[in-house]
Amino acid sequence: MSRSDPGAWQRTSPFAIVFFIGRTIKSFTRSLIQLVATFGALAVLIERNPQVALVIPVGILAIIVAGVLEYWFFRFRIEEDRIHIHQGIARKTALDLPFDRVQGINVERSLIDRILGLVTVSLDTAGSATAEGQLPSVTSELADDLRTRIRAHRPATVADGIATADEQAEEATPAAEESGRREPSPGQVILKLTSGDIARIGFSNRNLVVAAAVLGLLGQSLDFAEDRLRPIFESAGEAFAGAGALIQVLVVIGFVLVGLGLVLFGALLRYHGFTLWREGTAYRTRAGLLTQREVVVEARKIQQLTLSHNLVMRLFRRHRLRALPAALLPNQGGADAAGLQIAEVLEVPLLRARQAEDLRTRVFGREGDALTLQPRSPAFLRVSPVYIRALTLRISFTGALVALPFLVPLLQSNAGTNLADAVQGLLGETPMLGAGSAGTVALGVLLWWLVLIPPAALIAWVRWRRQGYLHDDDGLASRSGFLGRKVDAFLFRKAQSVAVVQSPLQRRKGLATLNVQLACGPLSVPYIDHGIACRLRDYMLYRVESSRRRWH
Partner 1 sequence: MFINPEVPLDSLPSADDLDWQPLHPRFVRRLQVGALVRVLVVGIIGSAAYFLMTSGDSAAMARFADRLLPFALTAFGLFAASVLLWPMIAVPRRGYVVREKDILHKSGVLWRSVKAVPFNRVQHTKLDSGLLDRRFGLANLSVFPAGAGGHRIRGLGTDTAEQLRVYVSERIEAEALDPADED
The string of DSSP letters for 122-175 reads EEEESS-TT--EEEEEEEHHHHHHHHHHHHHHSPPPSS-S---HHHHHHHH-TH
Query: CB-wise, 182 or 382, nearer to partner 1?
Result: 382
Interface residue with partner 1, options 520, 524, 526, 527 (CB under 8 A): 520
Is 371 one of the binding residues for partner 1 (CB under 8 A)? no
Residue from the set 359, 498, 511, 525 that interacts with partner 1 by CB under 8 A: 498
Return the range that interacts with partner 1 (CB under 8 A); candidates 108-116, 202-210, 457-465, 502-510. Answer: 502-510
Q: Among candidates 373, 438, 451, 376, which has minimal Cα distance to 411?
A: 438
The correct pick among 332, 413, 414, 418 for binding partner 1 (CB under 8 A) is 332
The neighbour count for residue 382, using CB atoms within 10 Å, is 14
Axis crossing angle, helix 386-412 with helix 414-427, rounded to the nearest 10? 110
Q: Exactly one of 43, 89, 159, 290 binds partner 1 (CB under 8 A); which one?
A: 159
Q: Tell me the residue type at 459.
A: I
- For partner 1, the closer of residues 12 and 306 by Cβ is 306
Is 543 among the residues that bind partner 1 (CB under 8 A)?
yes
Q: Is 271 left (phi over 0), alpha (psi -120 to 50) or beta?
A: alpha
Residue from the set 342, 501, 508, 510 that interacts with partner 1 by CB under 8 A: 501
Point out which residues pair with 104 in neighbouring strands.
124
Q: Is 334 in the site for partner 1 (CB under 8 A)?
A: yes
Among 22, 161, 436, 521, binds partner 1 (CB under 8 A): 521
> Which among 330, 347, 348 is positioned nearest to 339, based on CA atoms?
330
Query: Pairing mode, if any, of strands 75-78 and 9-10?
Result: antiparallel
Torsion angles phi and psi, residue 306, rounded to 5: -125, 120
Assess 248 for contact with partner 1 (CB under 8 A): no
Q: Which CB atom, from 118 or from 324, has the smaller least distance to partner 1?
A: 324
The answer to the question of residue 410 lying near partner 1 (CB under 8 A) is: no
Residue 424 within binding range of partner 1, rule CB under 8 A: no
Q: Are 267 and 198 contacting, i.e. CB atoms less than 8 angstroms apart?
A: yes
Which residue number, 13 or 304, has a Cβ lying nearer to partner 1?
304
Q: Of residues 335-354, which lie at the interface with partner 1 (CB under 8 A)?
A: 336-337
Name the residue nearer to partner 1 (CB basis): 50 or 334. Answer: 334
The three-state DSSP-derived secondary structure of 39-71 is HHHHHHHHHHCHHHHHHHHHHHHHHHHHHHHHH
Burial tier of 314 (Cβ tally within 10 Å: 0-12, 13-18, 19+): middle
AA letter at 28? F
Window contacting partner 1 (CB under 8 A); options: 112-120, 246-254, 402-410, 494-502: 494-502
Angle at 30 between CA 25 and CA 36, to 5 degrees: 90
Q: Indicate whether 389 belongs to the interface with partner 1 (CB under 8 A).
A: no
188 binds partner 1 (CB under 8 A): no
Out of 148, 437, 496, 524, name the contact with partner 1 by CB under 8 A. 496
- 274, 259 contact by CB (below 8 A): no
State the number of binding residues for partner 1 (CB under 8 A). Answer: 52
Minimum separation from the CB atom of position 338 to partner 1 (A): 11
**Which residue in 302, 328, 351, 359 binds partner 1 (CB under 8 A)?**
328
- Contacting positions for partner 1 (CB under 8 A): 158-159, 303, 326-332, 334, 336-337, 471-473, 493, 495-504, 507, 515, 517-522, 532, 534-535, 537-539, 541-549, 551-552
